Structure 1
Amino acid sequence: MQKKTIQALRKFGKDYQLKLPKELIYFPKHRAPSESAVESLSYFRKLGYHVICFVDSETQSLDAIAGEKNARDILLLQADTVYRSNDKPVTAGVEKGNTYELRELVHEKDLPPTIDLVWHGINDRKNLQQFLSSRIQWGEVDVQTVHEDGTVLLQHDSPLEDETLLIEKIDLTLNELLVEFQQHGKAIKVDFKDKGNVLSESIKLLKKHSFNDQNIWLNGNIDVLKEDGFKMLSA
């Protein structure tokens, strides 16, 4: 089955001039629908991809993905093909069908002349090295913590109460990352998870490393940054 799947994917890719490297074809080790779905999602997230859509015939798989952390923005589609289970999805956001015209979600006229891919969640050294060796231009990082020495730390999850554990968990600072980005000619998207001195210290570092409107993208939740935070970003 795996061999036939790979052959089908390669044929599909050839027809659309699309090359699929080996790491983008993944067969989960778990056989249970729910476990294999979560395993697959975790695999691609660890590669740095931001999963936006999940298609499966199994309701258990779709329910498992819906219950995962940070999965609210994943489009869940149930393919009306072959079922191994008769469970009804408990997730209200699952769409059923056998044909999906995803192009209808965004019309071609609404798209910019070019579309840039963004490498999601470059908050550790391993992910950073993978990104730097790729041809993707834009990389996204999460900042929400400043150490007592003024160092801006990269972290996606909520801050830990024990700062000792926090420092042990984080192995990359914003300053170190910006140095690498500049040396490799990369552009950066900064996602602010907190305001406070994180915002001001991050802006100082971006200016220090000569990032400008051409290679920087600033992002933050309105409820977090509020009016004064956005004024600081626009200054």
Structure 2
Amino acid sequence: MTISPRPHRGGAAGRVARAAMELGDLVHGPVLPPYTADAAVELLRTTSIGRPPSRLVAVVGATGTPDVVATLTWANEHDAEVVVLDPHTAQPPSRSGRPTVALSLARADRVVVRDGLVHAGVGAAWSQVRRVVGAGGGTVRVPRRPDTVADAPGAGGLRGVTLVTGDGVVHHLAGAHPDPELWWAFRCRPEAVGVVTEVVLDADGAGPALLAAESTDGDEARFAALARRHDPADVLGLPA
């Protein structure tokens, strides 16, 4: 869904209108012009970006992984940046002056149980995860606080995650993933390797809690190498 932007003076009007039209054709969630009340509500969900970027052209309410892929792909094609509205991640302010899209994952809240595994979007409430699993006769070891999957993506029973890197590529990460560097980086700093859209949990609660990997000062080069490989256009501006 796209809300048509109101006209205003200067080249910003054209950028906002084009972003709304193009992104609105690509994503299932809402595409909100930055000066609307609805966009302000989305931006107020987080303190991670401080004040909105000066060249903010749209706020996208992603409903799942495909919307995230579409937004990042659009940003790569239009020399733009993407700021993820995550209340727990301090993403540095843009210094490039490029057009910026704010990406909200609050609507990525689908929860399904398949083959003994729970697939939960990061916008889902943990209470919703418990209800869905319980309806199928299973149990899942999840925290009662914080409230959403995004608050604690490494909760007990984690088997893997779906991650979208800055180049718009989807990675289904797990312990046996063929890219051990991405799996290591996620365990060190989930916010510094891409956009996590979904977690995969054991439906019977038997899986071990995710053990976070520790990074050292010498690991900054590893994060930088991952950023160059998976986000060459610096769309996400990571790592900090």
TM-score by length of 2: 0.27
> Highest relative contact order (Cα 8 Å, sep 6+), 1 or 2?
2
| Bigger helix share | 1
Larger radius of gyration: 1
TM-score by length of 1: 0.27
